Amino acid sequence: MKNGLIITNCVILTIGTCAGPLLTRLYYTNGGKRIWFMSFLSTAGFPVILIPLFFSYLSRRNRNHSETAEKTKIILMETPLFIASIVIGLLTGLDNYLYAYGLAYLPVSTSSLIIGTQLAFNALFAFFMVKQKFTPFSINAVVLLTVGIAVLALHSNGDKPANETHKEYVVGFLMTVIAAVLYAFILPLVELTYKKSRQEITFSLVLEIQMVMCLAATCFCVVGMIIDGDFKVISREARDFKIGGSAFYYTLIVITGIVWQGFFLGAIGVVFCASSLASGVLISALLPVTEVLAVICFREKFQAEKGVSLFLSLWGFVSYFYGEYKSGKKVLEKQQPQETELPPLQVIDSVA
């Protein structure tokens, strides 16, 4: 059951990590300019979570009816966990804005390599906040992924889009760096919330936490949209969109919202099934894949250094999960009851 759950979350996270930045950049390169609107879309798809929550409730209700007469709770979350989820959600909303700002002025390839630095910060925060244990395999993965990102960073010169000013590029670069550090802090914070909670953390409860987090992040961005006047210009922006007009614009918006929601759902799901470091490793391992897709979709340059980075990142990804497999195998071996031997029979000489 748990293996199926973690595979599902990894697949959802993979789609969100690879497709989310590309769809966002597609919006910006075809006339879209509303940064708060893009940050809003990162979590606006949260009503999708109601579907698995509904089926989870039905499952719990059927189980209760068959076992006890206890009334099934619709909402499992208690007040302390609710408050913690709101705080994390507000931080997530801020992180969404920082990342959306960076994507508005940076190519996907440059943005991805900067976001990749979150792995080093994630490992550091996880070590201090949740006492994440490092194995030779996880250390090897962190080193390989960090080196892969560094190789890309060495050739980020001259990557500035022709229609952007130097100031816009620098500010976008700094915003993306801050977004990477903040997200690296958010993942261990979620894991710490799970560990400190007085409730049993089930997957149903994880979905409720995700729901509250995304709702808080969305409300945060809605306030930004109101202040920036986004609601007044969205319809005009849709009419003036360069490809497909209004129909394509609104389709793109809906798909972008669903894909980004998948990213957040998958990331939090991997934290629940494994750890915050595992989530960070998977995100970093997928960034070079996003680089390749950016080259195909937006014809961004793909130097030899990007190929080296892709190889190192995939190597690091395999190293980490092989280490997790080995660790899990050792735990199972320890849990298996050892064969017991009968004590040797003692022969007692009889006294005549």
Q: Is the pLDDT of residue 331 over 50?
A: yes
The whole-number pLDDT of residue 339 equals: 46
Q: How far apart are CA 47 and CA 348, in angstroms?
A: 78
Beta carbons of 194 and 271 less than 8 angstroms apart: yes
Residue 119: predicted pLDDT: 76
- Beta-carbon count within 10 A of 344 CB: 6
Q: Region 242-264: what's the mean pLDDT? A: 92
| pLDDT, tens digit, 9 for 90 and up, residues 225-252 | 999 999 999 999 999 999 988 999 999 9
pLDDT given for residue 342 in this prediction:
42
Q: Is 346 exposed, middle or buried (0-12, 13-18, 19+ CB in 10 A)?
A: exposed
Instruction: Report the alpha-carbon distance of residue 99 to residue 263 in Å, rounded.
Output: 14
pLDDT band at residue 2, thresholds of 50, 70 and 90?
low
> What is the model's pLDDT at position 349?
47
Of all residues in the chain, the percent with pLDDT exceeding 70 is: 86
* Token pair belonging to 202: 């089930």
Distance of CA 98 to the CA centre of its chain: 16
Six-digit token string for 121: 């910060």
